[in-house]
Every structure is written in structure tokens, then in C-alpha cells.
Amino acid sequence: MLATICSAALVGIDAVPVSVEVNTGETGEPKLILVGLPDAAVKESDDRVFSALSNSGFRMPRTRTTINLAPGGLRKEGALYDLPIALGILVADGKLEAPRLDDFLIAGELSLSGATRPVRGGLALAVLARASGRSSLLLPPVTAEEAALVDGVRVFAVKSLDEAARFLSGELQLAPVSRREPHSARQPAEAHLDFSEIKGQHAVRRAVEVAVAGGHNLLMIGPPGSGKSMIAKRVPTIMPQPTLDEYLEILRIHSAAGATLNGETRFLERPARAPHHTISDVGLLGGGAIPGPGEISLAHHGVLFLDELPEFKRSALEVLRQPLEDGHVTISRSAGKITLPCHFMLVAAMNPCPCGYLGDARHECRCSPSQIQRYRARISGPLLDRIDLHIEAPALSLTELRSDKGGESSAAIRERVELARACQRLRFTGTAAAANARMNQALLHRHCRLNPHLGDLLQQAMEQLSLSARAYDRILKVARTIADLAGADDIGSPHLLEAIQYRSLDRNVFY
């Protein structure tokens, strides 16, 4: 007897349909044959399914049984096929009558006891079910909570194989998982992080505010102990909360990467990723035998913090060029090609030299000119062009360190940032841009016009600093953000001059 269960495979952050076909009663030696380009985890499912069926009160078929995961040309990975395979065996062997089976998309891992375990990609599975006309999903509880965020489908959570079988047969009634809205409060783990704890560094604080207000990339340069990492960790506290659509995009990527969240810990927060400088190109960009999201995609709509920037491998840094420019990354592997979103704000920090004390009045720099030059040459000019703001973070004086006076709180800064972002949302209504940093050339010409005097001023600065055409566009975008923070309709001289000084380190420090 033949049974077909609808399931899915994850390709990047999207789900594609997979049919689990189970045929029992075949002549030949009693055994289970699994085909359809499965990986090692899928091949091991027959052992898990055998134990799960036995411990749930069922028996494996005593005939030759063939399981096909179609389409055969798509590589299958993971343990999400355990539950559909087990249910398919029960239906094909006549032990389960499930008249509503065609309405369901089913996925889930099984333990040896028959209990279900979460799988990756709950949101992607729900989106696929809705697009393919399936009215319902049958998933493990944690995965079901994620899938329930998608409108238009009913999601049922089953804790075990036995519960799934009884539900599909009509013996057990289950209510669909209710949709839980994400919490708007700050995560408790980050509640103690606040900009009021940062002493001094007024110029850096201002640069961070400008960067967040327009979604610009930021590079901080300063000696050890100047507060670069402290400031970077507090950048998410002044970012506006994501919209629900942005949050669902964030959760979809993290779910595809296996970072599932339950309803008790789900907050409307932007992601903040801080990979170690030993990370590989694939870890940063994404990839693998079956391509999946890397750190830049996990930072989508959030912050990617790269501390000790020159210590990262040159190849890893260079792969950031296209994602920083386009907001997406395309990965090609033998298993296929995927495109992943990666609109993130890059925050980077570095020392001015290998020892870190170049220009510090209290410490003597021990680096030779050739060592300094090699250290700075690890960061290419094209990558620097894509970083909108460069700011020096000088060492703090003893007076500043001993002072009990703190700066503005994150809440006060975030209020100004949200006002600036509101102006940008109104300005870019009907376009793909969500912030000034994402303006294309047409929007740049429309919203960043300069009068002749300011045009001459910018031209003079470009010639003196030997800046590139890309840096020219970045200056205009930053100037537009500074004007938004000031509540100005047009870019004025103070706004342009401040934007230019954020590029002053572009050439004279690195070359």
C-alpha cells in the first residue's frame, strides 16, 4: 500500500515541498529502503523511527518497505522527516486511517521514546504551507509556536508520535496554536546596558547617534581601554524597534539557522552579532554543502560588530564588499544557488597600530613605520569606502575615568533616533529604502541636493582628502541624516561639514 505525506526541505531560509512516499507490502527481504538523496542524518532516521514506533505501541511492517523523498534531485538534510516517515509507515501498513492527511504539511524529529523534538525553519514551513494551499501544519511544540506567527494557516503542536497518530485519526482533538505577539520590552539580559555608563567620548557618542539614525556603517579607531567595545555593545539599545514585518524576517533567518525561540523569550529586538576574528569566510558570509545563513545574514536588520578589525582574515573582510553595497548575498554551491538578505549596520573597532598606543600621550608606541603600514594595509581602500563614518576614540583621561558624571541615557538618544527615522520613512514612502544609508542614486539626487556654495565646499574636500566617488555619495547620505537629526528640510553647511569630518581618517590615517 502506498502513502504520501507532504513535508518540506530547507534551502537557505526558504522551504521547498518534499513528498514522503512510503510503499509497504513489497516482495523481497523484509527491510526498510530510504532513497531520495538523503544525507547522513536522514539515513539514520530509520533507526530512530523503528524505536519511536516500538515505544509508541506500533510495529514496523514485516515486508519490504521503500521510502522515497521526492524530488529525488534535491539533497535532503536534517531530522525533520522522522515524523512524516513514521506516520507514512503507519498509513501504508494499514495501522492508521487519516482522512485529513492531505490537508497537512508535517515535519518533526523523533526521539527513541516517540517524543517530538524541534526542527529548523518553522516560519519557512508555514509560509510554504500557505503558498501551496495546505490549510494546516503538524509540528513539534516549539517549532509550532514560530509557525503560528504566519497568518492564514492553522498550526497544531504534537508532543509525540502517538499523539500525532491519534489526532490524525480523529481520536484526539487538538486546538490550533494561538498566535502570540512578540513582547515590546527590552530583553532582561540587555537591560543593564545603557549609554549613560559611557564616560567621556562625546564625539564618538555623537557619531554613533548619527550612524544609527541613518543606518550607516561606523569604524571606531582608538587605543585599548578607550571604550570602543563598551560603546559597540550599547548600539542596539538606541536602535528603533523593528516593525513586525522586519521581525518576522529576522526570526525566519534565525529559525532557518536553528536558533528557535519560544514564546516566553521572544522580543521585538534587532539582532546583534559579534563574531570572533578567527571566523572563516563561510562562517561570515554563509554557505556549506547545503548553503545556509552566515553571520551577516543573522545580523539582518541589526548590528554586526567586528572588534579588532585588522585581525580578521583579509579574505573574510573582502567578502563583505558586495553585501555592504547590495544588502543581499548570493551563494553558489554544487547543491544549488541561494540569495540571502543581509541589510545590517556594520560597527567596527580597531587600534591605530599593532601595539595600540600610536598617538597616546601616556604610552609610548613601540611599532615601526613599516609595522604600522602593514597593519593598516590589512583593511583595503574599497572596504573603507563602504564604511560611512570613521571616528577616533582617544584614550580617556584620569579625570574622566574618576568622574561620576554619566552621559545621556540610551532612552534619550533613542528618542532622537526614532524621530529621524520617522522622517526617513515618510520621505521614502513607496520605495525600497528604509533609511538614508539605503538610498539609491535616484533618491540621492532627489533628496541630497546641494546649493552651489556647498557643492564647491564638498568638491574641495574631495580633492584635498583624495576621496573616491563612493565616498562622495556616503558623505551626502550622512549629511542628510545629520540634517534629519537637526529637523532641517535641506542640507546646510554645518551638516555637510560634520559629514566631511567623519571621512577625514579615510586617507591620512590608512595611507
pLDDT in tens, the chain (511 residues): 899 999 999 888 889 999 999 999 887 788 888 999 888 888 888 889 999 999 999 988 888 999 999 998 888 888 899 999 999 999 998 898 888 888 999 999 999 999 999 998 899 999 999 998 888 999 999 899 889 988 889 999 999 999 999 999 989 999 999 877 665 555 444 457 888 888 888 899 999 999 999 999 999 999 988 889 999 999 999 999 888 888 888 988 988 887 754 444 456 688 999 999 999 988 898 877 667 789 999 999 999 999 999 999 999 999 999 999 888 888 887 666 788 899 999 999 999 999 988 878 788 888 999 999 899 888 888 888 889 999 998 887 777 777 777 678 899 999 999 999 999 999 999 888 889 999 999 999 999 989 999 999 999 988 888 888 888 899 999 999 999 999 999 999 999 999 999 986 665 444 4
| H or E stretch covering 469 | helix 469-485
DSSP H stretches of helix in 301-440 = 314-318, 321-326, 369-376, 381-385, 398-402, 410-427
Instruction: Give the pLDDT score at 399.
Output: 75
Nearby residues of 243 by Cβ (< 8 Å), 6 or more positions away: none
Angle between helices 410-427 and 469-485 (to 10 degrees): 110
Distance CA 393, CA 228 (A): 7
Instruction: Give the pLDDT score at 465.
Output: 81
Instruction: Give the pLDDT score at 335.
Output: 62
Instruction: Give the pLDDT score at 511.
Output: 43
The full set of domains in the chain, from first to last, is: 2-169 (3.30.230.10), 188-430 (3.40.50.300)
Q: What is the rounded radius of gyration, in angstroms, for the C-alpha atoms of the chain?
A: 27
* Residue 5 contacts residue 84 (beta carbons within 8 Å): yes
- DSSP string spanning 152-213? T-EEEE-SBHHHHHHHHHTSS--PPPPP-PPB-SPPGGGTT--GGG--S-HHHHHHHHHHHH
Distance CA 173, CA 227 (A): 57
H/E/C letters for each residue in 157-170? ECCEHHHHHHHHHC
Nearest to 480 by CA among 416, 439, 436, 428: 436
Q: Is the pTM of this model over 0.75?
A: yes
Instruction: Give the pLDDT score at 181.
Output: 66
